[in-house]
Amino acid sequence: MKKKSQTEILGLAIVVVIICFGLVLFLSYSGNDSTNDELKEMNEELANNFVNTLLYTTACTVQVRDLLIDLGRNGPPGSIECSGMSNFKYLNETVITPILDQTLNLWRKNKYNLTIYVEGSSTSILSYGTGCRTVVADALYPTSLGTGSNINVELKICG
């Protein structure tokens, strides 16, 4: 029953992101004067909505944000165990990768870079995407680790 409710919550979060993207897409194409500024605004809103929804998605009875804080404080694999997997493996395999596959990849925004890292660290904890030469939109969400440092979730949508 617990796994079913987690799956339903994850599905609901994905539906919310899809609806937000559809609304932004509809509004951006509803006018005849489509400009680069409107496209940039749409991509900025998409990036911000995606990261915000990802952080507040419930997974393993807590929000993804809390799982990331655990990884930032304790390093991979983290101290929280989810469904018999380490926090790191659970986030990677059952939360973030499926959400990316069902949102950005499905929307043909397959040129992106999603990076999760501790501020001041030279390496990322988790990284997805192809990297960017030209960034058309980005979103950066820092979250305090309570240790004087932040864990950052950064999404760059590439052109």
Per-residue pLDDT reduced to its tens digit, 16-69 = 788 877 777 776 666 555 567 777 888 889 899 999 999 999 888 899 999 999
Q: What is the pLDDT of residue 40?
A: 81
Burial class (CB in 10 A: 0-12, 13-18, 19+), 78: buried
Q: What is the mean pLDDT of the chain?
A: 84
Q: How confident is the model at residue 111 (pLDDT cuts 50, 70, 90)?
A: confident
| Strand intervals (E) in 90-149 | 112-118, 124-129, 135-144
Burial class (CB in 10 A: 0-12, 13-18, 19+), 118: buried
- What is the rounded distance in angstroms from the CA atom of residue 53 to the CA atom of residue 55? 6
pTM over 0.85: no
Q: Which two tokens stand for residue 95?
A: 């939360």
Q: Is 110's pLDDT higher than 80?
A: no
Q: Is 1's pLDDT higher than 60?
A: no
- What is the rounded distance in angstroms from the CA atom of residue 25 to the CA atom of residue 34? 11
Q: Is 123's pLDDT higher than 60?
A: yes
Beta carbons of 91 and 100 less than 8 angstroms apart: no
Q: What is the pLDDT of residue 135?
A: 86
141: left (phi over 0), alpha (psi -120 to 50) or beta: beta
